[in-house]
Copies of this chain bind each other. A is one copy, B any other.
Amino acid sequence: MTEKKDFHVAVVGATGAVGEQMLKTLEERAFPISTLKVLSSSRSAGKKIQYNGKEYTVEEATPDSFEGVDIALFSAGGSVSKQLAPEAVKRGAIVVDNTSAFRMDENTPLIVPEVNEEDLHNHNGIIANPNCSTIQMVVALEPIRKAFGLNKVIVSTYQAVSGSGQAAIDELQEQTRAILDNQAYTPEVLPVKGDKKHYQIAFNAIPQIDKFVDNGYTFEEMKMINETKKIMHLPSLPVAATCVRLPVGTGHSESVYFEIDQEGINAKDIKALLSTAPGIELQDDPEQQIYPMPADCVGKSEVFVGRIRNDLDEPKGFHMWVVSDNLLKGAAWNSVQIAESLVKLKLVK
């Protein structure tokens, strides 16, 4: 029997920066949708959005919204997910959650399809989509782990403001113009909407993404550390992260140092490996000044890798530069990919 099934799909947080990209990605991928519900907070309810040439009215998300829904994509903040994802599951939906609410829950698989698609089989209704900065890094590291083993990761990030939502994108633009015009501008959004102080992001670099934990790391850094171990099934892999916000609209970059297990491997071997790895586009030709940059990655689904080179002292050490669209592979595209994997593995009833 090769009957093709269409699904009842709900998108929660449909009017946000990621929600918009989710709808666009579902449309581009021609995801098999029979009915679509676009949900949000009461604040955005009533707005109209377009999907596949048809107009939809945004409805307020409530527990009953999920009656009859097969797949619900959540991207409306952690508290919404905590409250409504279990309600959706109770009503028979599978939830793909783009917030941090369930990521480290041991009963919730944390999925990057290129890395651990098979973990989907252990789901209990909710599947977590990892943090944007984690996703692009593990896509680049997984083929390396598979081929040569992986013993250590140290990453410094160069992250775009769109990871903080539409308000941060607006703040960067307005503030940049104000500074160029020598006008005053009071920061209100970055580095963290709900934190005590806000700082200028235009023409600056802020070494804080999300709030601080007691150990001196930020939550963003701890997400990268813990999520990488969970996704890669390497609970004792040493991972260190420093996360920095830049005056870039979209596109996260990462300077990644890693040590492999196998001896005698050269940067050339890593390049050859990544040139055919799933989800990766190698952009690595220093002589031609070819390397990934955030301005070039916007709107593309791949993880771009370049600047791969041997450490000059540690024979098993390497450096690379990893760039991806944080709203796509870092969020919307990975979520839709998870939904596609669920369909492919026949895990949606």
Contacts and interface: CB of A to CB of B under 8 A. Distances in A.
Given A212-B286, A244-B253, A286-B216, A238 B309 contact: no
A263 interface: no
A168 interface: no
A295 B200 contact: yes
Contact of A154 (B154, B197, B251, B308): B154
A326 to B, nearest CB: 13
Given A203-B247, A294-B204, A295-B200, A307 B158 contact: no
A217 interface: yes
Interface string A234-268: 00001110101011110101010100000000010
A196 interface: yes
Contacts of A177: 177, 180
Interface stretch (A38-46, A141-149, A311-319): A311-319
Contacts of A195: 289
A156 interface: yes
A291 interface: yes
A82 to B, nearest CB: 26
A293 B158 contact: no
A180 B169 CA distance: 12
Contacts of A240: 257, 311-313, 317, 319
B244 A255 contact: yes
B247 A215 contact: no
Contacts of A212: 286-287, 289
Contacts of A286: 208, 212, 216
Contact of A204 (B216, B295, B309): B295
28 contacts: A152-B313, A154-B257, A158-B246, A196-B288, A203-B295, A204-B293, A204-B294, A205-B246, A205-B248, A205-B253, A205-B294, A207-B253, A207-B292, A207-B307, A207-B321, A208-B289, A208-B291, A212-B286, A216-B309, A216-B310, A225-B312, A238-B311, A238-B312, A240-B313, A242-B255, A242-B319, A244-B255, A246-B246
Interface of A: 152, 154, 156, 158, 172-173, 176-177, 180, 191, 195-197, 199-200, 203-208, 212, 215-217, 225, 238-240, 242, 244, 246-249, 251, 253, 255, 257, 267, 286-289, 291-295, 306-314, 317, 319, 321
Q: Top 7 closest A-B pairs, CB basis?
A: A238-B313, A216-B309, A156-B156, A156-B255, A204-B295, A212-B286, A242-B255
